Amino acid sequence: MGLMRLFYYKYLNSDVIKGFDRYKYSSQDTSPFSNYVMHPFWGWLVQFLPRWLAPNLLTVTGFLCLVVNALLAVYFDPEMYASSAEYSQFPAIPAGFWLANGMDGKQARRTGTGSPVGELLDHGLDSWTTLLYPMIAHAVFGRGRFGVDPGRLYLIYLAVMGQFYLSHWEKYVTGVLFLPWGYDLSQVALVGLYLATYVLGTDFWQDFAIGDFTYPDIAVAVVYGGFWTLCVPLTIYNVAKAFRAGTNRKSGLVASVEPLAAAFLLLASSAAWAYYSPNNVLHASPRLFFTAFGTVFTNITCRLIVSQMSQTRCELFNTLGCLYCLTVAGLLLRRSSLQFELACLGCLTVVAVVAHLHYWCCVVRQMLDHFGLRAFVIVDKGVKAK
């Protein structure tokens, strides 16, 4: 019980709690693929789940499956070379790995148990999946001529995380979550990629796809093309539309763009570290680099989600983000050895993961207590959880 007391810290003040009491979920999904294919499919599939099965349990189980897959990728491919044709000294990833992959919103609606806590948990974990999905997918291609080097993978991370962050910033300003068209498409594409790799093997991708373009070239073009031609323009359009109609939730432009400051600080410091590290730390330990960067991003995003759901003002700067920035500045100015830089990166990663897990567990527990709910058990309406 003494250890559990660590998770009773209250990050949310009374204004935030009151904001959650007033919260109403509002979203728009205009994707034809989602509306005519994926929603009916999940609606059909969820009928086979028992009604007593808590949606939050599905959410966490799905996330843990993804974590297991990511850990397996680290185990089988620690240096991210296993699928590279020109690095045959690294053992290939077992074919069975590609069969491992891991449904919750439909179950919440079906059982009438949707709540701000469920949405908070769902979107909070989704923000961390932006770290895991690219890392697992990279194992298909590896590094090298026909692969994806860590520098290009970093750019993919910026597009994936940028799309997720802009969607929630858009909701922070407009009050409506405009679901990205690429979300369901990317899920299906990844499943197809893994199944094709299971059947054809990783060597299939170690070749040119069209002319002088490799398969990763096409994948990067699709990811960046979708980000700059769909995500960014539509976000700007929806935010501008809300300002013109007077339906924006924040008074003034400054208050509306404040949440972008923490994200921009992380972007600038991570880019400086990636491209100006005296020891090229991104290439020396890409998994550690992306885990530190991705976890700090997740913490910034989760705090934005809390602010937009409670309709409170988002913090201008993030503590973990500032720590990340100071660490980068110190390492770039000091120009230390690779061993020292990797040690600092390792410590930063541990601190970021532990700090974010503590924040997220405490926030979810505080919300569960406030609404009288239990995380993984459906409580009858009108009955408070002990």
**Which residue ranges make up each domain of the chain?**
17-98+113-371
* Element of type H or E holding 178: strand 177-178
Is the confidence at residue 114, as pLDDT, over 70? no
Tell me what pLDDT residue 11 has: 94
Tens digit of each residue's pLDDT (9 = 90 or more) over 248-271: 887 788 889 999 999 999 999 999
Tell me what pLDDT residue 228 has: 92
Tell me what pLDDT residue 384 has: 47
Compute and round to an integer the Cα radius of gyration of the chain. 21
Is the confidence at residue 137, as pLDDT, over 60? yes
SS (H, E, C) 293-344: HHHHHHHHHHHHHHHHHHCCCCCCCCHHHHHHHHHHHHHHHHCCCHHHHHHH
Of 21-30, 111-120, 180-189, 324-333, which has the strongest mean pLDDT? Answer: 324-333
Pick the more confident residue, 377 or 152. 152
Confidence of residue 386 (pLDDT cuts 50, 70, 90): very low
26 close to 175: Cβ distance less than 8 angstroms: yes
φ, ψ at 89 (rounded to 5°): -70, -15
Q: What CA–CA distance (Å, rounded) separates 346 from 128?
A: 18
Tell me what pLDDT residue 382 has: 54
Of 41-55, 171-185, 226-240, 247-261, which has the strongest mean pLDDT? Answer: 226-240
Which tokens sit at 267? Answer: 């972007």
Q: What CA–CA distance (Å, rounded) separates 338 from 351?
A: 20
Tell me what pLDDT residue 187 has: 83
What number is the average pLDDT over the span 123-137? Answer: 92
Is the confidence at residue 348, as pLDDT, over 70? yes
160 close to 134: Cβ distance less than 8 angstroms: yes
Confidence of residue 301 (pLDDT cuts 50, 70, 90): very high
For 82-108, b/e burial (b = at least 16 CB within 10 A) is bbbeeeeebeebeeebbeeeebbbbbb
What number is the average pLDDT over the span 313-321? Answer: 93
- CA distance to 97, 145, 204, 230, per residue, from 211 (Å): 30, 15, 16, 27
Q: Is 164 helix (H, G, I), strand (E, B) or coil?
A: helix
Confidence of residue 240 (pLDDT cuts 50, 70, 90): very high
Tell me what pLDDT residue 96 has: 81
Tens digit of each residue's pLDDT (9 = 90 or more) over 18-57: 999 999 888 888 888 888 888 888 788 778 878 777 788 8
Cα dihedral 128, 133, 136, 137, rounded to 10, equals: -160
C-alpha closest to that of 66 among 104, 22, 34, 115: 104
* Element of type H or E holding 177: strand 177-178
Tell me what pLDDT residue 59 has: 83
C-alpha closest to that of 41 among 101, 106, 100, 99: 106
Is the confidence at residue 132, as pLDDT, over 60? yes
Tell me what pLDDT residue 111 has: 46
Name beta bridge partners: 306: none
What number is the average pLDDT over the span 324-334? Answer: 95
- pTM, whole model, 2 decimals? 0.91
Q: What CA–CA distance (Å, rounded) separates 358 from 294?
A: 16
Tell me what pLDDT residue 281 has: 95
Tens digit of each residue's pLDDT (9 = 90 or more) over 265-299: 999 999 999 999 999 999 999 999 999 999 999 99
C-alpha closest to that of 130 among 376, 260, 1, 300: 300
Pick the more confident residue, 78 or 377. 78
The H-assigned helical ranges of the chain are 14-21, 32-33, 39-45, 55-76, 105-111, 116-141, 150-174, 182-200, 215-226, 232-245, 253-257, 259-276, 281-284, 286-310, 319-334, 338-371
Q: What CA–CA distance (Å, rounded) separates 125 from 60?
A: 8
Confidence of residue 103 (pLDDT cuts 50, 70, 90): very low
What number is the average pLDDT over the span 146-165? Answer: 94
- CA distance to 27, 52, 162, 170, per residue, from 180 (Å): 11, 31, 12, 11
